[in-house]
Structure 1
């Protein structure tokens, strides 16, 4: 086999859709990722902007749902149960945890905006073993990861230590000039040391005209895509390592939705970059 044959057999960007899902500049739906559109089996993600008095109605079907109130305030009706005045911040960059609602499969849901609001809808296949519940800010664990220019601030909305069947949901703020999800790590193989989890990154920037960078790559580079991410864009992570970085002057927020065959977050760092953890 000559060199030209090797090159021609490599996967190309044209052979698959981009991992970057651009935000819609207007309208109710900011982004809508389904298992079908992503080409995977588990994670669904939508982000919605609602005006005062607007309503979003949906049925969970065969999937569990985590509604995260990103900004503004909403009422959430699950069947006959009404959860009122959920939401305590006007921006995801405020120093406080969000409200969220866990909803099992087979439920009718309505979200009523009390004023302008933004909500995220994270879904994954489930059987319906758990009841609906509000997840209050005080129940969410907040932590700091990394050090120096690798420091970021984490809020566990629905971690594997809290009840759900498949979903894992977390939000992270990465300060200006810092790296995040770094050293690069992956979770795409089943085993004790690593779990296979699909993941979406829903990004926001402060100020909103900013941008950030994210790379998704595998050890063999059969997947290797570097993306410039703008306000409210979403990045799909079907497999591989997935670090991101915020340029100077712009803080980066992202909401992660993860799900896979096993509901456990276990990851492997890229061996080429793991050395920095020992410094």
Structure 2
């Protein structure tokens, strides 16, 4: 099988600096221009202790989401109002949900970290200018989805029905080692009111090490749906820091290797008038949902409870 769009869609963590322009402070820097689409963005910023980084939000709304460590986020809106948010953050994506900050378009922002850390900036081009806001970890709903070997945990920090944005939809998914996530394969590459949303999607991966400290891996599949503009066809091995771009197509499964829990951050946005995550299951595999009521959820889940839940 050939995968003609691999270079476009699978961005490995160890990719060399671009020869087309100056280096950026981001280990991942996906923009609508670099992805060849219209809306979704993702940056991953690493700050050393005491370091800070300033950027303009431009025509996009952004969420600053700690992956490890904490920071202070300062935002000056177009009105001149300035807000400062202290993000406690977390030790890693495998330890707890996190608090986060929302930044509107047309603002100036600064991220500073006294102890250092890594921070995801999830973005989407938008029209409305919403106010800058802080959201505590205790307000992030933690959902268990699927059952049996399809069990996974979803941290719905910026799901469409949870947190108000103009275009941006973003969630975190944690999959125990050996399980299949993002399954059954599904798509959202055409606008069908009430049935399906047209959304560009970014997957950013981190894979837990083994107990001995050896790095892990996983796999991501995307196949053509017949409705997209690109005809995406990809089977990629993914490791920590890798990014897969999905402009169209059936996506899933995301497979976690046995012994290595998988984390991925989903960033979505699209042109539809309604900010909604409406999907269509692959007709050959959607039947698997009917088996879930007869199977228990993987007892390893949740990998961690919602913040403030001390079960």
TM-score normalised by length of structure 2:
0.81
> What's the counterpart of residue 295 of structure 2?
none
232, 257, 262: which one pairs with 1:223?
Answer: 232
Aligned to 1:212: 218
Within a 5 Å distance, the mapping from 1:162-177 to structure 2 comes to 162-177=163-178
Asked if the contact 1:185/1:241 (under 8 Å) is kept, the reply is: yes
Q: Is the 8 A contact 1:71 1:87 kept in 2?
A: no
Work out whether 1:22 is the aligned partner of 2:12.
yes
Decide whether the 8 Å contact of 1:185 with 1:268 is kept in 2. yes
Cross-structure match for 2:199: 197
Match of 1:110 in 2: 110
Are the equivalent residues in 1 in contact too, given 2:3–2:235 (CA < 8 A)? no
1:55 aligns with 2:52: yes
Give yes or no for contact 1:24–1:31 (8 Å, CA) kept in 2.
no
Using the TM superposition, give the Cα deviation of residue 127 of structure 1 relative to its aligned residue in structure 2, in angstroms: 2.5
The superposition leaves residues 153-199 of structure 1 with CA deviations (integer Å, 9 ceiling, x where unpaired) of: 11011111221100001001000000001011111110121000001
**Deviations 1:216-262, CA, capped at 9 Å, x for gaps:** 11234942210000111000010111111001011100011000013
CA drift of 1:15 comes to 6.7
| Structure 1 segments unaligned to the other structure (5+ residues) | 1-11
Superposed counterparts of 1:88-167, under 5 Å: 88-94=89-95, 96-161=96-161, 162-167=163-168
Maintained 8 Å contact 1:216/1:226: yes
1:258 aligns with 2:268: yes
TM alignment of 1:33-72, pairs within 5 A: 33-72=30-69
Name stretches of at least 5 consecutive residues in structure 2 with no aligned partner: 17-23, 77-81, 292-311
Deviation at residue 269 of structure 1 after TM alignment? 0.6
Aligned position for 1:249: 259
- Which sits farther off after the overlay, 235-244 or 122-131? 122-131
Cα distance between partner residues in 2 of 1:229 and 1:82: 36
User: What is the alpha-carbon distance in structure 1 between the residues aligned to residue 60 and residue 26 of structure 2?
Assistant: 20
Tell me what 1:4 maps to. none
Alpha-carbon distance between aligned partners in 2 of 1:39 and 1:217, rounded to the nearest angstrom: 18
Give secondary structure in 2 for the equivalent of 1:278: helix
Q: 1:22 touches 1:31 (CA, 8 Å); kept in 2? A: no
Aligned residues: 266
Matching residue of 1:232: 241
Contact 2:142 2:156 in 1 (8 A): yes
| Secondary structure at 2:33 match in 1 | helix
Supply the distance in 2 between the matched residues of 1:38 and 1:76 (Cα, whole angstroms): 27
Partners of 1:83 and 1:220 lie apart in 2 by 44
Question: C-alpha separation between the residues in 1 aligned to 2:6 and 2:181?
Answer: 26
* Cα drift, residue 87 of structure 1: 2.6
